[in-house]
A and B are shown apart, each in its own frame.
Chain A
Amino acid sequence: MERRNFLSHAAYGIAGVAALQLLQRDEASRAGEPNGSSHPASAKHVIHIYLGGGLSQVDSFDYKPDLERFHDQELPAEFGTAQPFMGKAGRLHRSHYAFKRRGDSGLWISDLFPELCNVADELTVLNSMVAETANHTPGSFQANTGFRQMGFPAMGSWLSYGLGNENDNLPSFVVLPDERGIPNPVGGSFSWSNGFLPPQHQGVPFNTKGGPPILDLQPASGLNAAGQRERLELLGQLNSMHLKSQAHTEALTARIESYELAARMQSAIPEAMDFASEPQHIRDLYGLDRNECRGTASNCLAARRLIERGVRMVQLWTGDGISWDAHEDITGKGYKSHTGEALRIDRPIAGLIRDLRQRNLLDSTLVMITTEFGRTPYAQAASGKLSKGRDHHPEGFTNILAGGGLKPGMAFGATDPIGYAAIERPMTIHDMHATILYLLGIDHERLTFYHNGIQRRLTNVHGQVMKELIA
């Protein structure tokens, strides 16, 4: 029993202690029990780009020529009954963008993402995603934690808990909010919460609006570097003198060390976030100097620099958590339009994938471009009408992955001919999480944490590893 929660028992473990490392050590001493990591990992790091609000599958990666045929018609009964979230089910609407086959792989991608089209051969497109809810916040929680309800750890927290960190001077799970602010509409900080896992596994949100990258990195009083050194030195001396009189020193020593780590973090974080050493061609690759995409470009470049330095997972938010929520006009240029949002992310993400490839990092880094649900193939409009908007739609949608040991240039699963419901190899969030953990060398059924009566998992009691996806 004592080991049920060994991390909270080993309550004083500092950041960077990996559950699986401990697990292996622990279990190696017990006969016959294999390690929690059951197979070699292909991926070591994850960059998760979250498109909150609901990316329309039929306008991006899920090509449905039949929608042309059915355009301006009612949803045929054979495809099911419309279940609009906002209460309005208009007529079917064809894709707002032209689709073509791209790259050698011939993946179908629409003109919404012209730059991503150029890296089509690196992408693994999941066309048969299904979600449990059509509501943003529970959907977003599920996309990030596996559960609709509040209170569960984000995937990045699980990875931090399971794999630890490669660099103690940086947090293991870094969150880069959009320059427009933190995603309050979908639960804000809860989206990267450690839930019931120990707090060192929490996502650390960096400030991406200018100014110090994290809170409290430097003294509020502006105390200079010499003063800070002197302060640390005195603290170290006082704590060491106190330590000598103590019989049980584990926690006390961990605190002494944590100040040393903190001091190193003070230089490591700004160094990672400083692009001065990046040459112009790299800046151009990401679009760092282009007005339309500067914010995402900066976050994508930062993500590469962070994972290069050993951060386990970086999560990038595009928009405020619901900015892909195109109820009114998919093709508009402003907030909650696809055309406008795509402009902000298309070049930077394509640049990131290319940059990872040229640095030989793409095979060991999984890039995830995901959303909480898709959008209806029918317009959000009064019955019998058309509009340029689409409603929330969880029955079939698309997530895009790249790198990390996946088969590239492939589309997995399929929706019905109008892109309404996933009919071929439907894939739940749990399945996707299970597959991602597998790439990272983790058996999703064995990465567990006891909380209030249950050995909790990222994948609840579900999840199937989709081995066809793995190279």
Chain B
Amino acid sequence: MAKSSLQKQLLFCVFSVVAAASNRVLADPPGQDSFDQHVAPLLASRCLSCHNAIDKKGGLNLSDEASARLGGDNGTAIASQASEASDESLLWEKIDTDEMPPQQPLSGEEKEVVRRWISDGAQWGTDPIDPFRFSTAGRAGYDWWSLQPITQPDLPWVDNTDWVQNEIDRFVLAKLEAAKLAPAVHADSRTLLRRLYVDLIGLPPVLKTVDGTWKEELLDIEIEPNSLQFYGASYNGVVDALLESHYYGERWGRHWLDVIRFGESQGYERNRVRPNLWRYRDWVIESLNQDMPYDEFLRLQIAGDVLKPDDLEALIATGYLVCGPYDMVGYEMGSAAMKNAVRQDELEDLVATLGQSMLGLTINCARCHDHKFDPISQREYYQIAALLGGVNQAVEERQSIALTSADNTAFDGVAHVIIPEQPPAFHVLIRGNSNDLGDEVSPRGLQALSIAGLSSDFGMDSETPEAERRVALAKWITDPRNPLTARVIVNRLWHYHFGQGIVDSPSDFGFSGGRPSHPQLLDWLARKFIDGGWKLKDLHRLIVTSATYRQASNIHNEAAQQKDVDNRLLWRANSRRLDGESTRDAMLTVSGALNPRLGGPSYFDVEAKLEYDHDFGPPTSEFNEAVNRRTIYRLWARCGNNPLLESLDCADPSVMLPRRSQTITPVQSLSLLNNRFIEQCAERLAERVRQEAGGNIDDQIGALYGLTLLRNPNMDELELARKFVHSQTLTQLCVVMLNTNEFLFFE
């Protein structure tokens, strides 16, 4: 599946690269530049995977000039400069007869590049060839789009300026107009209200009318229901109230926990619960609620203990580094070789999480060999691992840090945070084999991020204290010249707001990931984000007050459907099913059972046996104040999944999940109809409806519709509901309402 599209894309790339190459080859005089531009990328992408310094197939190494001129087992491959014609070159002969490369011979244009190079004297350029310098049809190089400096694009010109509310709209509309498509009309007030609530705080609004004015209960604000479809104070007021509410951090904190595979138990055999890791979860929520600048948010998670040594909150932030899977048995038993392998697996997981969550790069793919698709060498993988080498969960799992605040107030308890250790020297491990040591490496950043002047050389060696390493890493990642950090987070926000990112692979901005649908918009947003002090709430505000965001989803547009069925150009909003947490939280909210308490230790919703090994069983089905909290506060233990939430696509704590599935399965439907939790919410909801509407069935049905769907029932619906309540119960009607598509989707 994937392959076919990739192929299609590859064909396209090959065509464009070669076309460009051959045009220029004809114009350029032979020389170093020509070699670097045209010949080296070809050798790198088509020959060096076998004929490199290590593998040297047939004794031939084409990666540096001296070796290439030396030739291989069959003799000289390339004649020395300008002495012999191409028809006497062994290299050319093998290529010309399609003997090499063996899998897929070179195309005519590619052959022409080689032929001309050899006949012009085979002049070499940069030595050795840097295989990462240019992107090819099969992989990204240093010139890959996401590695280029963030630009400051001009606002595009558009026709329909009346539609435009802010800069975002100009970028979106320009693309739509170019495709001769029109944006959708505004969504109505009710749709917008529900969209804003679910999107920004993960809870549906609860509207009540009191003496003729409408009040929303959760935020305790007055809302004029029909005013939201207009731009202005009323809409902006709701947005501000939502962003100021503590529910915001609970909603968006969960997104971050998805991305970093946050887990409150070790996993593997012992799987011990980390009873204090909730402090990190609370730190995430609180930081988002305080609108901590995103660069600071990242820095503290990597090195809060070093950057702010007297700040307990900054220490707690390092929970980021120690919330991954940890194989306690592997660390404590077995041979030295096996322990070493377990340690390397742990480091890979850590590098994977850091690279993907903060940089959108799969650095971990370079553990056993150079990255197959992105310009990251195997050596660089170990250099990054050396930066994180002070993190060793074996230490954290043995002890937690006791917390006492400097002034002995508010704070005491224990936290699951980093307890750093000075690491040993790091080596390249040949083919990733933890017992096969290659060259020693220094802690260092990635060359690929250096285009805008950000140095990857931190002047470190294997003696550098580990604290300095993490500080350097934190600064490197959050340097405004880093091309990825801002792009990645801006895109994440966009992804959650629209259901689809500008780049549709939010944790992979490399060759295997998606390409931006609106590259200029992405850069404009990233630039504005950095210039504005890395403030997430400003970005949310900008997005949700755009005309783009306020479009209706329920729109027929044949032309758009034909041209852009995936809605990449945003000619409408995307309707989406509530995610697992929002489904449960919404049911608790409308039934009035939600305990809105902020933060604190996690609640258990499955049976747990916490002995030598920690085991988890079936759901407890408790329904009380202690567990009726927002779903983010459950104990997210590995293998301690709640089947209802699992069926609704909640994140597994062992999998980094930058984008959730939205599956629909019969098992899910069975749970939504029959699960004890749903029944209990329905009972509470029925109670509430009786209380608020009194004994009249029609009034009760009306109140139920108001609470769940923010509208009155129409005559048909009223009739059906009435009939149902007569033969069944109000509680069962509530179960049905909680199962309707209209309740479970937001447009």
A interface residues (Cβ-Cβ under 8 A, vs B): 1-6, 8-9, 11-15, 19, 22-23, 26-27, 30, 33, 36, 83-87, 132-138, 148-151, 168-169, 171, 182, 184-190, 193, 195-196, 198-200, 202, 204, 214-221, 223, 227, 230-232, 234-235, 237-239, 241-243, 245-248, 251-252, 254-256, 258-259, 261-262, 264-266, 446, 448-450, 452-455
How far does the Cβ of B479 sit from chain A's closest Cβ, in whole Å? 23
Bitwise interface map of B from 338 to 351 toward A, beta carbon under 8 Å scored 1, else 0: 10011001000100
**A15 and B665 in contact (CB under 8 A), knowing A193-B652, A219-B673, A231-B728?**
yes
- Taking CB atoms and an 8 Å cut-off, the chain B residues in 632-680 that contact chain A are 638-639, 641, 643-644, 646-647, 649, 652, 654-659, 661-671, 673-676, 679
Is B325's CB under 8 angstroms from A243's CB?
no
The reply on B55 being an interface residue by CB < 8 A is no
Return chain B residues, CB-CB under 8 Å to A243.
Answer: 741
**Cβ contact of A262, chosen from B373, B669, B741, cutoff 8 A:** B669
A355 to B353, CA, bound (A): 49
Is B515's CB under 8 angstroms from A2's CB?
no
How far does the Cβ of A230 sit from chain B's closest Cβ, in whole Å? 6
Is B674's CB under 8 angstroms from A2's CB?
no
The reply on B551 being an interface residue by CB < 8 A is no
Return chain B residues, CB-CB under 8 Å to A231.
Answer: 673, 724, 728, 732, 735-736
**A266 and B661 in contact (CB under 8 A), knowing A4-B514, A151-B654?**
no
**Cβ contact of B666, chosen from A133, A248, A265, cutoff 8 A:** A265
Is B669's CB under 8 angstroms from A259's CB?
yes
How far does the Cβ of A155 sit from chain B's closest Cβ, in whole Å? 17
Return chain B residues, CB-CB under 8 Å to A169.
Answer: 666
The 3 A-B pairs with the shortest beta carbon distances in the complex, nearest first, are A453-B362, A184-B615, A261-B666
How far does the Cβ of A239 sit from chain B's closest Cβ, in whole Å? 5
Return chain B residues, CB-CB under 8 Å to A134.
Answer: 334-335, 338
How far does the Cβ of A172 sit from chain B's closest Cβ, in whole Å? 10
The reply on B383 being an interface residue by CB < 8 A is no
Is B4's CB under 8 angstroms from A27's CB?
yes
Return chain B residues, CB-CB under 8 Å to A452.
Answer: 352, 356, 362, 507-508, 656, 658
Is A135's CB under 8 angstroms from B668's CB?
no
Most buried by A among B6, B639, B669, B671: B669
Return chain A residues, CB-CB under 8 Å to B617.
Answer: 182
How far does the Cβ of A192 sit from chain B's closest Cβ, in whole Å? 11
**Cβ contact of A219, chosen from B327, B568, B621, B679, cutoff 8 A:** B679
**Cβ contact of B720, chosen from A4, A26, A33, A237, cutoff 8 A:** A237
Return chain B residues, CB-CB under 8 Å to A195.
Answer: 652, 655
How far does the Cβ of A273 sit from chain B's closest Cβ, in whole Å? 15
In the complex, 7 of the A-B residue pairs with CB atoms within 8 angstroms, ordered by the A residue number, are A4-B1, A4-B5, A184-B615, A215-B671, A259-B666, A448-B1, A453-B513
A150 to B739, CA, bound (A): 33
The reply on B613 being an interface residue by CB < 8 A is yes
- Taking CB atoms and an 8 Å cut-off, the chain B residues in 307-366 that contact chain A are 325, 327, 329-330, 333-335, 337-338, 341-342, 345, 349, 352, 356, 362, 365
The reply on B504 being an interface residue by CB < 8 A is yes
**A14 and B670 in contact (CB under 8 A), knowing A135-B330, A190-B639, A215-B643?**
no
The reply on B616 being an interface residue by CB < 8 A is yes
A274 to B669, CA, bound (A): 23
How far does the Cβ of A90 sit from chain B's closest Cβ, in whole Å? 17
A4 to B508, CA, bound (A): 13
Question: Which of B151-159, B192-200, B412-420, B553-561 touches A?
Answer: B553-561
The reply on B2 being an interface residue by CB < 8 A is yes
Return chain B residues, CB-CB under 8 Å to A218.
Answer: 674
**A258 and B639 in contact (CB under 8 A), knowing A227-B728, A452-B507?**
no
Which residue on chain B has the smallest CB distance to residue A32? B7
The reply on B462 being an interface residue by CB < 8 A is no
The reply on B717 being an interface residue by CB < 8 A is yes
The reply on B101 being an interface residue by CB < 8 A is no
The reply on B163 being an interface residue by CB < 8 A is no
Is A254's CB under 8 angstroms from B673's CB?
no
Bitwise interface map of B from 722 to 747 toward A, beta carbon under 8 Å scored 1, else 0: 00100110011101100111101100
Is B666's CB under 8 angstroms from A148's CB?
no
Which residue on chain B has the smallest CB distance to residue A220? B676
Taking residues whose C-beta sits less than 8 angstroms from the other chain, chain B's interface range is 35 or more
Is B329's CB under 8 angstroms from A135's CB?
yes
Return chain A residues, CB-CB under 8 Å to B349.
Answer: 149
Return chain A residues, CB-CB under 8 Å to B508.
Answer: 452-453
A231 to B735, CA, bound (A): 9
The reply on B234 being an interface residue by CB < 8 A is no
**A30 and B638 in contact (CB under 8 A), knowing A150-B268, A230-B727?**
no
**A86 and B656 in contact (CB under 8 A), knowing A12-B664, A215-B671?**
no
A151 to B508, CA, bound (A): 18
**A33 and B7 in contact (CB under 8 A), knowing A135-B338, A231-B673?**
yes
Which residue on chain A has the smallest CB distance to residue B671? A216
Return chain B residues, CB-CB under 8 Å to A258.
Answer: 664-666, 668-669
Is B553's CB under 8 angstroms from A248's CB?
yes
Return chain A residues, CB-CB under 8 Å to B739.
Answer: 235, 259
The reply on B83 being an interface residue by CB < 8 A is no
Is B670's CB under 8 angstroms from A266's CB?
yes
The reply on B510 being an interface residue by CB < 8 A is yes
Is B741's CB under 8 angstroms from A239's CB?
yes
Is A171's CB under 8 angstroms from B333's CB?
no
**A448 and B2 in contact (CB under 8 A), knowing A83-B335, A252-B745, A258-B665?**
yes
Is B639's CB under 8 angstroms from A187's CB?
yes
Is A184's CB under 8 angstroms from B666's CB?
no
Return chain B residues, CB-CB under 8 Å to A187.
Answer: 267-269, 271, 639
Bitwise interface map of B from 514 to 526 toward A, beta carbon under 8 Å scored 1, else 0: 1100000000000
The reply on B596 being an interface residue by CB < 8 A is no
Return chain A residues, CB-CB under 8 Å to B668.
Answer: 258
Is A454's CB under 8 angstroms from B741's CB?
no
Which residue on chain B has the smallest CB distance to residue A171? B667
How far does the Cβ of B168 sit from chain A's closest Cβ, in whole Å? 23
| Supplied contacts A15-B667, A242-B741, A454-B365, 8 more A-B pairs, CB within 8 Å | A182-B617, A202-B646, A219-B679, A221-B731, A247-B556, A251-B662, A262-B670, A448-B3
How far does the Cβ of A468 sit from chain B's closest Cβ, in whole Å? 26
**Cβ contact of A6, chosen from B1, B261, B341, cutoff 8 A:** B1
Which residue on chain A has the smallest CB distance to residue B6? A4
Return chain B residues, CB-CB under 8 Å to A238.
Answer: 717, 720, 736, 740, 742
Return chain A residues, CB-CB under 8 Å to B667.
Answer: 15, 171, 200, 204, 214, 216, 262, 265
How far does the Cβ of A327 sit from chain B's closest Cβ, in whole Å? 12
Return chain B residues, CB-CB under 8 Å to A15.
Answer: 665-667
A262 to B739, CA, bound (A): 13
Return chain A residues, CB-CB under 8 Å to B325.
Answer: 149-151
How far does the Cβ of A269 sit from chain B's closest Cβ, in whole Å? 10
**Cβ contact of B674, chosen from A6, A26, A189, A217, cutoff 8 A:** A217
Most buried by A among B337, B577, B646, B670: B670
The reply on B421 being an interface residue by CB < 8 A is no
Return chain A residues, CB-CB under 8 Å to B644.
Answer: 216
Return chain A residues, CB-CB under 8 Å to B1.
Answer: 3-4, 6, 19, 22-23, 26-27, 36, 448
A15 to B656, CA, bound (A): 23
The reply on B58 being an interface residue by CB < 8 A is no
The reply on B691 being an interface residue by CB < 8 A is no
A255 to B269, CA, bound (A): 37
**Cβ contact of A1, chosen from B515, B716, B736, cutoff 8 A:** B515
- Taking CB atoms and an 8 Å cut-off, the chain B residues in 64-85 that contact chain A are none
Which residue on chain A has the smallest CB distance to residue B669? A262
Which residue on chain B has the smallest CB distance to residue A148? B345
Bitwise interface map of B from 602 to 616 toward A, beta carbon under 8 Å scored 1, else 0: 000000010001011
Return chain B residues, CB-CB under 8 Å to A26.
Answer: 1, 4
A242 to B745, CA, bound (A): 12
Return chain A residues, CB-CB under 8 Å to B352.
Answer: 452
Is A9's CB under 8 angstroms from B566's CB?
yes
Bitwise interface map of B from 362 to 380 toward A, beta carbon under 8 Å scored 1, else 0: 1001000000011000000
